[in-house]
Amino acid sequence: MPFLSFLLLFPLVGALIIACIPSWKVRAIKIIALCISLINFVVASGLWIVFDNSTAKFQFVEHIGWLPFFNMNAYIGIDGISLFFIVLTTFLVPVCLLVGWVNISKHVKEYCLAFLILETCMLAVFCMLDLLLFYVFFESVLLPMFLIIGVWGSRARKIRAAYQFFLYTLVGSVLMLLAILLIYFQVGTTDLQVLLVSEFSERRQLLLWLAFFASFAVKVPMVPLHIWLPEAHVEAPTAGSVILAGILLKLGTYGFLRFSIPLFPEASLYFTPLIYTMSIIGIVYASLTTLRQIDLKKIIAYSSVAHMGFVTIGLFSLNVQGVEGAILLMLSHGFVASALFLCVGTLYDRTHTRLIQYYGGLVHIMPLFSFFFLVFTMGNLSLPGTSSFVGEFLILVGTFQTNTWIATLAATGMILGGAYSIWLYNRVVFGNLKPLYISMGSDVNRREFWIFVPFVLAILWMGFYPQVFLDPMHVSVSNVIQHGAYIS
């Protein structure tokens, strides 16, 4: 069964169907879009069930000719590394559609179209086994995302944010294009399975690695290149932030794991100190920055930067624990940060402000919300029992084996993370209610409740029984690590 091409094409087909519906039939458009994304989620979960844990080979491989004459073909397939990103993507898209169910009132049709097309692009990134086509979809995410930030964003500054998002990402990734062409000229193909068995000279590896790094580090974002992220997050609509935090930040780290580490093993070893330094600075800097922010979304955006710093450290610890922890933290962050952005969206819908100083004592009027917010905050500071703890713990274990100092420094991130998370929660939920600003508040409604519930379940499930997530990725991760022969 061509499961993967179904996954890729189904949202596109849905987008075509929706494009044919007149735009005043708002309800029909929403329901069709939601159904399509839910069906996609079911199919993706089915993939997880049928997935064969015992092999590192790519599964569900399909081959679609694109430029056969130039040896550039669309190979799609997934292994243990990409499996969960596909599930996560298909999980988050219906959430995004549901988030905009009521408060997106203008351009509803375009909203649904943008998200469905975005879903195809993101899924294609995760299952493409061809370097050039990976690049194509990696970039094409820009178009719908630019429009999502620009059209449905909240303030006038959104345009600047959309610009920054677009240009930052583009500058990084065009260098990757040149690197891909260079690889093509050496190997004669961009098929990943062939590239994995071909070897590059050490000098060239360094160059190529840097070019890939320019692209991935912007997407991750590593610290000096992170400026676009808080802007884009703050100005994006809630659903945009969910996708941005949930998936788009993972594109960079996924790229590191899928391409940089196995293709350029020597360069990866060579540049590990660079990654470590940037990540540590990122963790500490972003965590400290968080303490000073007054915008709810910016706080969570900066905490994403810190968490992504953890992920990159884990990836470049280059042993099985670290890499698995990194993947698990990516997944967990996909749930936790998205859920936190959903919380902020819930607040914003009611009060139309995101400045912390206007909030306080929400527990008196929104008890249910306060509960959900608590669970997600605890997830964010990686409390044992939540998903992030497993990820960060594994990362620290992995890093400890390669570099004790880095592990120690990274561990400060856990303290700082606790500091800002709890302080944020305190300021928003506890204390006296400020009735001057928040006069009318209602607790989460049924729709929001049912959006939050799966996130809570997922976070706790991953926290208590991570085995289900670790099992499918184990063989693939070991394969990647052994491929570069980092164990010596």
Partner 1 sequence: MMGLHFIHLFENDFYALFPELFLTCTTMLLLMFGVVWSTSKAEGYPILTHTIAWLSVWSLVCAFGLTIHSPFSVMVSFYNTFVIDELTFLLKAMVLCSATAAMLMSMEYLKTSMLNIFEYSILVLLSTISMLLLISSYDFISMYLAIEMQSLCFYVLAASKRHSEFSTEAGLKYFLLGAFSSGVLLFGCSLVYGYTGLTNFEDIAKCLAGSALFQTHHSFLHLGMGLIMIGFLFKLTAAPFHFWAPDVYEGSPTSVTAFFAITPKIALLGVFLRLLLGSFYDLLFAWQYVLFFCSICSLFIGAFGAMAQKKIKRLLVYSSIGHVGYLLIGICCGTVEGLQAVLLYLILYIFMTVNVFTIVLSCIDHSKTFRLKYIQDLGLLGQTHPVLALTFSCTLFSMAGIPPLAGFCSKFYLFFAAMGSSLYGLALFGVLSSVVSCFYYIRLIKIMYFEQPSQLVTYGAIDHEKAILLGITTTVIVFFFLCPHSLFLWTYKVAYMFLG
Task: Give the interface with partner 1 as residue ranges (CB under 8 A).
Answer: 65-70, 110, 132, 135-137, 139-140, 142-143, 146-147, 150-151, 158-159, 162-163, 166-167, 170-171, 174-175, 177-178, 181-182, 184-185
The residue among 175 and 422 lying less far from partner 1, judged by its C-beta, is 175
Question: In whole angstroms, how close is the CB of 158 to partner 1 at the nearest point?
Answer: 8
Look at the alpha carbons of 2, 62, 9, 53 in this order and tell me if their dihedral is positive or negative.
Answer: positive
Question: In whole angstroms, how close is the CB of 480 to partner 1 at the nearest point?
Answer: 26
Exposure string over 361-384, b if 16+ CB within 10 A, otherwise e: bbbbbbeebbebbebbbbbbbbbe
Residue 321 identity: Q
Residue 228: which of 173, 274, 291 has the closest Cα?
173
Residue 191: which of 263, 85, 123 has the closest Cα?
263
User: Which runs of E-coded beta strand occur in 38-113?
Assistant: 59-67, 72-78
- Considering all CA atoms of the chain, what is the largest pairwise distance in Å, rounded to the nearest integer? 69
The residue among 54 and 185 lying less far from partner 1, judged by its C-beta, is 185
Q: Specify whether the CB–CB gap between 417 and 306 falls below 8 A.
A: yes
Question: In whole angstroms, how close is the CB of 266 to partner 1 at the nearest point?
Answer: 22
The residue among 120 and 332 lying less far from partner 1, judged by its C-beta, is 120
Question: In whole angstroms, how close is the CB of 161 to partner 1 at the nearest point?
Answer: 11
Question: In whole angstroms, how close is the CB of 329 to partner 1 at the nearest point?
Answer: 29
The residue among 179 and 327 lying less far from partner 1, judged by its C-beta, is 179
Question: In whole angstroms, how close is the CB of 63 to partner 1 at the nearest point?
Answer: 14
The residue among 75 and 452 lying less far from partner 1, judged by its C-beta, is 75
Question: In whole angstroms, how close is the CB of 164 to partner 1 at the nearest point?
Answer: 11
Residues 6+ apart with CB under 8 A from 138: 125, 173, 215, 251, 255
The residue among 11 and 150 lying less far from partner 1, judged by its C-beta, is 150
Tokens 């809570």 belong to residue: 456
Q: Specify whether the CB–CB gap between 461 and 382 falls below 8 A.
A: no
The residue among 162 and 470 lying less far from partner 1, judged by its C-beta, is 162
Question: In whole angstroms, how close is the CB of 184 to partner 1 at the nearest point?
Answer: 7
Three-state DSSP at 65 gives strand
The residue among 171 and 468 lying less far from partner 1, judged by its C-beta, is 171
Between CA 481 and CA 476 the distance in angstroms is 9
The residue among 35 and 178 lying less far from partner 1, judged by its C-beta, is 178
Q: Specify whether the CB–CB gap between 38 and 94 falls below 8 A.
A: yes
Q: Specify whether the CB–CB gap between 428 and 296 falls below 8 A.
A: yes
The two structure tokens encoding residue 151: 């059209």
Question: In whole angstroms, how close is the CB of 207 to partner 1 at the nearest point?
Answer: 10
The residue among 183 and 323 lying less far from partner 1, judged by its C-beta, is 183
Q: Specify whether the CB–CB gap between 81 and 254 falls below 8 A.
A: yes
Please name every residue paired with 76 in a beta bridge, in sequence order, or none if there are none.
Answer: 62, 128
The residue among 142 and 315 lying less far from partner 1, judged by its C-beta, is 142
Phi, psi of 384 (to 5 degrees): -55, 140
Question: In whole angstroms, how close is the CB of 42 to partner 1 at the nearest point?
Answer: 27
Look at the alpha carbons of 427, 431, 432, 435 in this order and tell me if their dihedral is positive or negative.
Answer: positive
Question: In whole angstroms, how close is the CB of 486 to partner 1 at the nearest point?
Answer: 30
Q: Specify whether the CB–CB gap between 349 and 405 falls below 8 A.
A: no
Residues 6+ apart with CB under 8 A from 96: 115, 239, 242, 243
Count the residues in the chain: 488
Residue 391: which of 339, 326, 475 has the closest Cα?
326
